[in-house]
Amino acid sequence: ALPIVAVVGRPNVGKSTLFNRIVGQRLAITEDRPGATRDRLYSKGEWLNKEFFLVDTGGMTFDEGDVLANDVTKQAQVAVDECDVIIFVVDARTGITTEDLQIAQILRREKKPIVIAVNKIEDHKKQELDFIEFYSLGFPVMVSISAANGFGIGDLLDEVIANF
């Protein structure tokens, strides 16, 4: 079976944009509205001849009227249970939020490899301090990316497949 890579993170950090960037198809739904992706989406990805399944976990518990609608911790837990490697996406423009800390707390308990993708880095120099802030989450493997323009995606995937 192919390894499973889960894309985890709070709403609006760019999970679906990253998913689309990696699989090269516009399969996931990207929207400004948090929780826009209603279903978990799987697709095959490949990097340097290594294949894997990528899971866009965004909004997988999202349902209007559901008390668990915004329970990002539950979303993260389910994704973490079933995957081999975790890409934890965070947003360099907003910095660390309470939801990021909640997700980090869950991921810390796991023995699975975690790569932090610090997204929305379009100006590497200007955003260096914004990037460094995320080291305080306690996961040493971090890559700065722009899912929107493709910057850093190769470096990110290098770190991901190093765990297969």
Task: Pick out the residues of the known binding site.
Answer: 9-16, 56-60, 119-122
CA distance 86 to 113: 6
The CB-of-91 to ligand GDP minimum distance in angstroms stands at 8
The torsion region of residue 149 among left (phi > 0), alpha (psi -120 to 50) and beta comes to alpha
Residues of this chain, 35-64, that bind ligand GDP according to CB under 6 A: 36-37, 58
> Maximum distance among all alpha carbons in the chain?
43
* CB burial readout 150-162, b (16+ within 10 A) else e: ebbbeebbebbbe
The CB-of-81 to ligand GDP minimum distance in angstroms stands at 20
CB-nearer residue toward Mg ion: 41 or 132 = 41
**146 touches ligand GDP (CB under 6 A):** yes
**152 touches ligand GDP (CB under 6 A):** no
DSSP secondary-structure letter at 136? G
Q: Which window, 4-12, 71-79, 125-133, 135-143, contacts ligand GDP (CB under 6 A)?
A: 4-12
